[in-house]
């Protein structure tokens, strides 16, 4: 398959071409060895190797080379899927690879493997080193911010709803999940949560995440905002700001413009907010102004890469705790409308806008909608240029 056919195949699986292209561009911007570290235990290799190896082959065809960590027992199963000369592994689900057993400089050896278009495979010997230490040495040496544990049972599920628990920040929430996992005697869950917590704390990089997902949904985890697994990362730190002087305006306006994929008008850039909720790394923000009717949510912006990390939800929780009644509007083609419809108290639509409100007295809603309709457009209209 050529590159176009491979992309089509990936996006057919993920069902999200726009986000897929965004993540592909992001991955391509990294040093190749930093892309991702994958781990699959021996049982997962036995149960799901065909799906896993097929996806890894697709990634290699896209010039993306994850570092694959395997247990010693898994090596014997590789011969079932690869010819003796793995350089010839171009048909079926096989792919070229190199097993890196002994190394003095892991970074150099992995780079050499990737330079020869081979997937680097590292073998964990249970008797030689703790698994968390082994994985941390790898991600630290390669400067990787993505660790994915693949398990044939998939991610962690909520026992009450049966839904995937998609995001767990470190701190109190993670401790709570670990306690629940112990109570439910889910060894796999508790082992992953302890590993993820250790890696996140030791890595000390806000972009680092550890994910537990299924080999059958690896591409969806990599190439969609929603992902497919249970993601653990550093707890988001949200500031409540009242003064524009304490904000990096360039970073703030860049966040908003990139999130909306539109250019802000000069008038907006010279305006001010009454309250700004801002994630410390400028991954997300909510720009609010006070009116006689309550708070108007002028801009709710989340960096595309951070949309699966719960930062938008954390900001929204802060807003709904401290800034009600609240009302806002959104363009009909805005992808976030589906979510807005779930969290809003009510909605009214016209051809130009969708109007939302929360915590609002019913008799004030007509006035709220008139007020929203009277607000100026904050983004440039490219069609007028």
Three-state DSSP at 117 gives coil
In sequence order, the 6+-apart residues with CB closer than 8 A to the CB of 302 are 259, 283, 284, 311, 312, 315
DSSP string, 310-361: THHHHHHHHHHHHS-SEEEEE-TT-TTHHHHHHH-SEEEE-SS-EEEEES--
Half-sphere exposure of 40 (CA within 13 A, CB side): 31
Taking only the tens of pLDDT, the chain with its 385 residues reads 566 777 777 777 777 677 788 788 889 999 999 999 999 999 999 999 889 999 999 999 999 999 999 998 887 777 666 654 544 444 445 788 999 987 889 999 999 999 999 999 999 988 889 999 999 999 999 999 999 999 999 999 988 888 898 888 888 778 887 777 665 656 889 899 999 999 999 998 888 999 999 999 999 999 887 789 999 988 888 999 999 999 999 999 999 999 999 999 999 999 999 999 999 989 999 999 999 999 999 999 998 777 666 788 889 989 999 999 999 999 999 888 988 998 999 999 999 999 999 999 999 999 999 999 999 999 997 544 3
DSSP string, 63-85: T--PEEEEEGGGHHHHTTTS-SS
- Domains of the chain are 3-233 (3.40.1160.10), 238-375 (3.40.630.30)
**Residue 88: closest CA among 54, 52, 117:** 117
Calpha distance 176→182 (Å, rounded): 10
Q: What is the CA radius of gyration of the chain?
A: 24
């Amino acid at each position: 398959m050529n590159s176009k056919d491979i992309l089509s195949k990936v996006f057919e699986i993920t069902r999200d071409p726009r986000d897929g292209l965004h993540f592909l561009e992001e991955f391509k911007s990294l040093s190749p060895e930093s892309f991702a570290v994958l781990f699959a235990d021996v049982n997962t290799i036995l149960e799901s190797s065909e799906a896993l190896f097929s996806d890894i082959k697709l990634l290699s065809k896209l010039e993306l080379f994850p570092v694959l960590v395997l247990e010693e027992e898994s090596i014997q199963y590789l011969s079932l899927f690869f010819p003796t000369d793995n350089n010839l592994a171009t048909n079926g689900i096989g792919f070229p690879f190199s097993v890196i057993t002994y190394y003095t400089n892991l970074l150099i050896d992995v780079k050499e493997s990737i330079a020869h278009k081979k997937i680097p495979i590292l073998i964990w010997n249970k008797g030689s080193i703790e698994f968390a230490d082994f994985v941390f040495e790898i991600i630290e040496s390669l400067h990787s911010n993505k660790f994915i544990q693949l398990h044939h049972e998939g991610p962690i599920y909520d026992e009450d709803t049966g839904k995937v628990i998609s995001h767990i920040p470190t701190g109190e929430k993670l401790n709570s999940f670990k306690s629940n996992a112990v109570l439910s005697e889910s060894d796999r869950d508790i082992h992953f949560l302890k590993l993820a917590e250790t890696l996140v704390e030791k890595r000390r990089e806000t972009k680092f995440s550890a994910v537990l997902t299924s080999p059958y949904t690896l591409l969806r985890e990599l190439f969609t905002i929603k992902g497919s697994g249970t993601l653990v990362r550093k707890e988001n730190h949200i500031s409540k700001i009242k003064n524009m002087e304490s904000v990096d305006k360039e970073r703030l306006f860049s966040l908003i413009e990139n999130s909306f994929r539109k250019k802000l008008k000069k008038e907006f850039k010279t305006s001010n907010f009454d309250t700004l909720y801002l994630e410390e790394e400028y991954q997300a923000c909510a720009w609010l102004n006070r009116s006689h009717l309550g708070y108007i949510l002028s801009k709710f912006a989340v960096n595309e890469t951070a949309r699966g990390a719960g930062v938008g939800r954390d900001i929204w929780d802060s807003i709904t705790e401290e800034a009600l009644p609240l009302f806002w509007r959104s363009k009909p083609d805005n992808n976030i409308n589906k979510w807005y419809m779930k969290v809003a108290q009510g909605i009214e639509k016209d051809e130009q806008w969708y109007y939302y409100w929360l915590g609002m007295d019913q008799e004030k809603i007509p006035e709220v909608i008139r007020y929203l309709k009277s607000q100026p457009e904050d983004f440039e209209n490219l069609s007028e240029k």
